[in-house]
Every structure is written in structure tokens, then in C-alpha cells.
Structure 1
Amino acid sequence: MHSSTTEQQGGPQKRTLFTRFLDTVEWLGNLLPHPVTLFAIFCVAILLASGIAGYFDLAVADPRPEGAKGRAADGMIYVQSLLNAEGLQMIVTNLVKNFTGFAPLGTVLVAMLGVSVAEHSGLLSASMRGLVMGASRRTVTFTIVFAGIISNTASELGYVVLIPLAAMIFHSLGRHPLAGLAAAFAGVSGGYSANLLLGTVDPLLSGITESAAQMIDPDYSVGPEMNWYFMFVSTFFIAFVGAWITDKIVEPKLGQYDHDQASEDVAAASASKLNDDEKRGLRNAGIAVLIVSGILALTIVPEWGPLRHPETNEVAGSPFLKGIVAFIMVFFAVPGIVFGRTVGTINNDRDVIDSMSKSMSAMGMYIVLVFFAAQFVAFF
């Protein structure tokens, strides 16, 4: 009895300590400034650090081999102060160039032009709902996590469509809806950078990596496909792990769910199923994907492919891989237009342009962030 009483008294105390810990973490997190402000602070810090280091003529050994481009004769790298007249001139004259020449800026915006057509036509939402709603009871958890992972192709679509849909599906199956919500959230957030296809995240990451690598080698090039093998394997690994944790750990901890309430969401779940127009649209979009894939394959698969490397005739370093962002745009735009024409969401060229414009208008915060990030990288 004494042990039981102690546990009963200790339980609320432990929960209180844990709650206080979470409140402290939240409080510390809220102290962080906006990401744009962070990059602005980093820029100021680089200016001050360069001024101090330049004043004392600090230098380090150049890791590049002798004869490398940009390597000083004495093999040392000296700090260039940004607080003297020369540094101020460099900042002022290169401010716009740093921004417009920042690799992630153009690549992400171009890729988003195509993805936006597929998103606003309803293709991506219909594909996600068709994938999840068509899953069997045995595979529904895995399918939800898997769909959450690949939803990052359309940026934030998974948060808007999949998470509430997953909770509704679990409810309709007599399972705890919070488990479905958690599974979808784990897939969308935990697997955000994994995918079977290249999306808008990959040009962003490759651009940042390329900008950093070019500090050492100005000719170094990084393509958006750099992590594809890792992304492909991670997609299935995260989906299996997320499904297992949901079924074996998360859902049992939520306790017994009242199955009598399941019937309330059956009608709602049915309303999320694809209608006949959407099914035809997905079929036609699938045909468009095959045609586009076939045309792209002809440019790179045969030895005479026009987009192979002009000197080595190999795929590595070829114009195809260097221009992969353009193909991402085409790969999403064409099926999106076909789907939209089938279901009636796209009727003319104005609808296509409007869908692109809406996505560009939503990229304002990203563009502001890129401006300060580009200055930070250039200063560094």
C-alpha cells in the first residue's frame, strides 16, 4: 500500500516536472529570433570578426595543393577585413550580385513553377488521397507515413491535406484518430528531405552546398541529385520505422478507443475518396508522366543522347544533370495541366499562369531569407 501510494503521489509530481521541462524548452525556443534576423546577426558578426582578425593580420595555411587556382605564393590565407575602405567597397558593389547569384534562389523558384501547376490543378492532392484511401487495413499505417514522406514534393501540402485525412481514416477504421494524426505528422516532418523523386528541397540544399564548396574550389559543382540514392532508401526505411512505432508504441499508449464512434467519420472518409473525374484525371496524368519520362529518357539513356556529357559521353556531369531543375518543372507542369484539363480546374493558359503566380506570391518570405543568407555566405 505504501509503494502504491508513493507512486500515486510521485506520478503527478513527475508529470509536473516534465511539464516544466517542456515549458522551459518552449520558452528558450521562443527566445530565438526570426531566421531572417539570425542571418542578419550572422552578417554583422562576420563584419566585426573580419575587422578584428584583419587588424591583427591573422592567417592560416591554405589546404589546397600547390598550383591550385587562387592559392597564394606563400601558401597562406589572410583574413580580408570588411570594415576598411576596400571591404566596404566590396560589400556595396556586390550586394545585388550576391543575391541574384545565390544558387538556391533561381533553382527553387524555377522548380516551383512546375510544382505549383500540379498543386493548384489538384493533381498532388488527388494523388495523395488516392494513395491513402486505397490502402488496405493492414497497410494503412505504412501508406500514411509513406505518403507523408513523399508529400514534400509539393512543399507544405502534406500538412494541409494528409494530417487531418489520416486522423479521419483511423477514426473510420475504429482506430484512435490521434495515432493516425501522429503517423502522418511523423511522415511529413520526420521524412521531409526523403523522397522517391527530386523536389523543391533538393535544389535548395544543393545550391547551399555548392556555395559553401566554392569557397575552396570556385569551379566545384553540386547537382540537386546528389543525395538521391540516400533519399530513396530513406523513404522506405522511415516509412517502415514510422509505421512500426505507430502500431507498436504510439497507438497502444493512447489507450482503448471507443469503436462505436467510428461510424461518425465513415461518411466523411467516403467524401474524401476520388470521384470519377479525378480518377480519369489521374489516369490521363499518368499517361502524360510516361510520355514525358520517355522523352527525357531519349535525351540521356542512349549513347547518342544529346544531353550526355559532350566530352566524356557519360551521364555524370552531363547537361541533363546540370539542368535537372528544368526537367523537374516540366515533369510536374505537364501532368498537372493534363489533370487540370480533365477535371476542369485548368481551362486555358491564364489558369496555368495564375497557378504559377500564386506560388510565387507565397515565396516572398523565402526570397527575403535568401537575400540575407546570400550576404552571409558572401561575407564569410
Structure 2
Amino acid sequence: MATVNAAPKTLMQRFLDGVEKVGNMVPHPVIIFLILIAIVIALSTVLGAFGTAVTYERINPDTHEIEEASTAIRSLLNADGIRFLYESLVPNFMAFTAVGLMIAAMIGAGVAEESGLVTALIHKLVAVSPRWALTYILAFVGILASIAADAGYLVLIPLAGIAYLAVGRHPLAGLALGFAAVAGAFTVNMLIKPLDTVLVEFTNDAAHLVDPNRSIGLASNLWFSIASVLFLTVIIAFITDRMIAPRLGAYNPENASAGTTTDQSAMLGEQESRGLRFAGFGLLGLIAVFCFLTIPSWGPLRDPTTGELIGSSPFMNGLITLIVLMFLVTGWAYGIGAGTLRTLTEVIGAIEKSIKNMGGTIFLFFVLSQFVAYFTYTNIGTVMALSLSGVLQAANIGALPLLLGFIVVVAIIDLLLTGAIAKWAIFAPVFVPLLMKLGVEPEAVLAAYRVGDSPMNAITPLNAYFALVVGFAQKYDKSAGVGTIVSLMLPYVVWIFVLWTALFALWKALGLPWGL
């Protein structure tokens, strides 16, 4: 990565440069995952031959009842494993939800980008925001983007790169900022989101093992989550401005990939302003439609059983649809107003262009989906998680040290098992009852899980969107690779994990309420 930075580099900057250099020496991400697939096959064969297994209690995701289960390492080279390898090639890819989500999101985002709406909005944001506040605004919005599940990866991260480019800063710093905000704080928000519903249900199921009358609500971590959002916004913005941006230095547009637009300096003209007005009208119309579908008690997007809108309702579960429609409607409306996309044929052309550009990413996801499926089939990650939790459970230590040890274990396992729900189904029946017997409220255990589960999302290659961020980076720097992203994200991961854990410990020590 070429930088223009005359100031001597600090020890940390030299270390991160070394991480980037070594990381970028590794092969193409597709080759990396092919190697990992070979390792998983070999490891499963060896461990399966020795009959490696573990017995534990878990929450049944369908009945929400506690049940005893035994998990053994399954070989991929015995008869069952070979049949799985042969039969699951296409189903593995079809079940990889990141692909469908990415394509759906790009339908709307492609129209918004091709029409010029994205650029116009960034220019507007830059014009109305003080320069010092842009980083904080992007970090804050990135954390809140988790309300739309994984859509933040596809929308906020590239927008952060464009926003930084628009103010003359290095776009990779913007991408790093967006990735840290979306991934590193994924489990907290200022609003109740669908993930909270599942996590709370599993927590209550585990708490009932000790006290059948003890339950927590959807807002049981609300105060801690709100404080975490504000706290992490400051941390992420500070790291970006003081560590990431200085290391990258000035941006050289010559490093950009062919076809990448780097001129973001033009001010809004009359056509662009008219397009934004049209986009605003389109957005208001869309909001009116969704108000009709959600506000009345009979609204079809409310929960058909409870009538609730927030929580596990069709509206919350299908927020990606709202995201797609929002970009599609406002993008086309902007195109009509600005004269860039007038006809439906032109809109379809914009969608086709955005999807064509994802060919390499889709192939990478195909290989990645096989690795994730094979790793899940072998149960290697589950056995490792249970083994580590068993060691921590057997340790004769106090409540707060046990909570802190629990955060560390969750973080380690998150490098291998990235799904927040799957891990909590394993950890909840172990640690919630154990800590409740030590006088720790279940709200605190769930808050500890949120802290441990998030930061590593920004550095593990098993995050389905890690490879996508590498692709975003290569638009601005042809030489960017896995090492580039790892070196950019390491400071975020370390400091978020350390300082967020410290905030949790202080919160617990002061006895502050976790939520409603």
C-alpha cells in the first residue's frame, strides 16, 4: 500500500506494516479456504478415529427445553462423510444466506449508486457535518446498522469509504471505520432488534433451571447497550483518527482498480439538488406505505400472534426488504430528478451492472460456504467450545473473574463459531445457572456474552463478510489483500475488547442497572 507520510512511523505502525506484509504474502482467499478445507478434512479424520466427543446440556432451539446431548467429532472421510461431501455441494451454497442477502441488497444499492444518489448524499453529509464530526457520525450509524441484521456490511462499509474519499481522506480508513463499527459492536444497539428476542429466550430457558419464576425481558440489557454504543462510537472514531488514518497517510488515486471513480470533489449542482428532492419525495411515499402496513393494530407486518411490531415480527425479520426498497425507490427517484436514470430499462441495466461486478465475490462465497458447512458438520468448533467452557466452569473463582473469563472464552470461540445464536445456545445453559448460583443476575451474563461475541467479528476470516471487505478495499488499492484488512482491524479488535471489557467490569462493580 503506497503512503505519503513523512513523519517517522511508530513502533505500532511498523508492527502493523509487518502484519500487512506477511498477511498479503498468503495466497488468494479462495486458495486459503481450499487449504482450510483440507485441514478440516484431515483433522476430522484423526479426531474421529480417536472417538473424540463431549457430553453437555443445551437449549433445544425448537422447544426451548433443556436437554442432554452428546457431540462427537465426525469424520469427513468415512462413509457418511464422503456421502455428505458428495451430496451437499449445491445445498451448502444455497443455504449460505450471505449470498442471497448480498445480491438482494445490491439490487437497491446498485440503482442508488448508478443514479448518483450515493455520491450526492455523501456530498450532502460532508457539507452539513463538521469535518471532525464525520468519523463519529459514521461510527455511530455503523453500530446502529445492526438493527437491519447483516445489511450494514453491504451498505454502511462502502459508504464510509466513499465519505472519506469525498473529504480527501484515505478511503481504506473509512472502510476500516465502517467494518469496525458494523462488526465489532454487532450485538448492541440503542433499539431492540430481532437478535435480542432469541438471546433473551435462550437466557430465560437457562435461568429457569435455577429459578422457574426468574425471567428477563427484551430490554433487560438496554441501558448497558446504549452506554456501549456511545462508548464504542468514541473508541472507534478515536482509533480511526489517531492510529489508522495517520498510518495510511495521503491517498494516491493511482492505486485504485480500473473503473473505480475517485473524483468525489464536485459540489452539488442544480440537477443533483433536484434529484435529492425527488429522492426525498420517494422516501416519504415509501414511509407512508410502511406506516400503513405497520402502525394499525391489524397491520400485516405486525406479529400475527401478539400484535407487536418490535421483536420477532415480520417487519423486524424482513428489514432487509425495507433496505432494498428504500435504495431502489430513492435511487430511481433521484435518477428521474437528476436525469441520470429515467426509464425502467435503465434501472434494470444498473442492477445488472452491480450484480455482474460481484462475480468474483460470489465464487469466493461458493468456496467459503463449503468450508463453513464442512467445519459445522465435523463438530470441531462445538467440541472446542464445550471443552473450554468446561475448564472455566470447573475453575473455583469468584463471580466477576468468572464473568471476565467467560468473555475471553466467548471471544476465542468467536474466531471459529461466528453465529451469535449458535454459541449462546451452547453457553447459556452452562453459565447462566452457574453464575446465578453465585448471585449473578442473568442480565449480567447476557451482557457479558454481548461483549465477548462482537469484537472478533472484525478479524476472523470465518466472518462471511470478511472477504467482501477485502473486495471493497481492492477497489481503492489493487494490492490490498487479507493482510491489509487484518492489519487495519487489529487495533480496533484489541482496544474494543480491552476497553469494552473494562466498561463491563466497572458497570458490574458499581451495580448499575443493565436495562429495564
Shorter-normalised TM-score: what interval? Answer: 0.5 to 0.7
Q: Tell me which residue corresponds to 1:369.
A: 364
Which of the numbers 138, 142, 166 marks the counterpart of 2:133? 142
Cα shift readout 1:49-102 (whole Å, capped 9, x = no counterpart): 111122122211143258988x9x984222221102221111111110010111
For residues 297 and 303 of structure 1, the distance between their equivalents in structure 2, rounded to whole angstroms, comes to 11
Which of the numbers 315, 325, 328 marks the counterpart of 2:320? 325
The one-letter code sitting in structure 1 at the alignment partner of 2:105 is: A
Which of the numbers 20, 44, 51 marks the counterpart of 1:50? 44
For the residue of structure 1 that corresponds to 2:77, the secondary structure is coil
* Compared CA separation, residues 247 and 16, structure 1 to 2 (3 A): closer
Paired residues for 1:343-362 under 5 Å? 343-362=338-357
For residues 293 and 42 of structure 2, the distance between their equivalents in structure 1, rounded to whole angstroms, comes to 50
For the residue of structure 1 that corresponds to 2:27, the secondary structure is coil
Matched, 1:32 2:35: no
Query: How much does 1:241 deviate?
Result: 5.9
Q: Tell me which residue corresponds to 2:482.
A: none
Which range is displaced more, 81-90 or 307-316?
307-316
Mapped contact 1:277–1:343 kept (Cα < 8 A): yes
Query: How much does 1:39 deviate?
Result: 2.0
Mapped contact 1:186–1:242 kept (Cα < 8 A): no
Greater relative contact order (CA < 8 Å, ≥ 6 in sequence): 2
The one-letter code sitting in structure 1 at the alignment partner of 2:158 is: E
Q: Tell me which residue corresponds to 2:275.
A: 281
Which of the numbers 87, 91, 95 marks the counterpart of 2:89? 95
Which of the numbers 102, 106, 131 marks the counterpart of 1:112? 106
Mapped contact 2:53–2:73 kept (Cα < 8 A): yes
For residues 190 and 102 of structure 1, the distance between their equivalents in structure 2, rounded to whole angstroms, comes to 26
Q: Tell me which residue corresponds to 1:121.
A: 115
Cα shift readout 1:230-252 (whole Å, capped 9, x = no counterpart): 99988876666677789999999
The one-letter code sitting in structure 2 at the alignment partner of 1:162 is: A
Query: How much does 1:21 deviate?
Result: 4.8
**How many residues were matched structurally?**
303
For residues 11 and 306 of structure 2, the distance between their equivalents in structure 1, rounded to whole angstroms, comes to 64
Query: How much does 1:134 deviate?
Result: 3.7
Mapped contact 1:144–1:166 kept (Cα < 8 A): no
Aligned-residue Cα RMSD (Å) equals 4.1
Paired residues for 1:231-380 under 5 Å? 272-315=266-309, 316-379=311-374, 380=376
For residues 13 and 274 of structure 2, the distance between their equivalents in structure 1, rounded to whole angstroms, comes to 51
For the residue of structure 1 that corresponds to 2:48, the secondary structure is helix
* Compared CA separation, residues 275 and 131, structure 1 to 2 (3 A): same
Query: How much does 1:48 deviate?
Result: 1.1
Matched, 1:166 2:167: yes
Query: How much does 1:37 deviate?
Result: 2.2
Which range is displaced more, 329-338 or 276-285?
276-285
The one-letter code sitting in structure 2 at the alignment partner of 1:307 is: L
Structure 1, unpaired ranges of 5+: 1-13, 168-180, 196-205, 211-227, 253-268
Matched, 1:60 2:47: no
Q: Tell me which residue corresponds to 1:85.
A: 79
For the residue of structure 1 that corresponds to 2:296, the secondary structure is coil
* Compared CA separation, residues 284 and 144, structure 1 to 2 (3 A): farther
Structure 2, unpaired ranges of 5+: 1-7, 143-151, 183-193, 199-221, 247-262, 377-516
Matched, 1:156 2:158: yes
Which range is displaced more, 90-99 or 232-241?
232-241
* Compared CA separation, residues 282 and 144, structure 1 to 2 (3 A): farther
For residues 51 and 233 of structure 1, the distance between their equivalents in structure 2, rounded to whole angstroms, comes to 46
Which range is displaced more, 326-335 or 303-312?
303-312
TM (normalized to structure 1)? 0.67
Query: How much does 1:359 deviate?
Result: 1.0
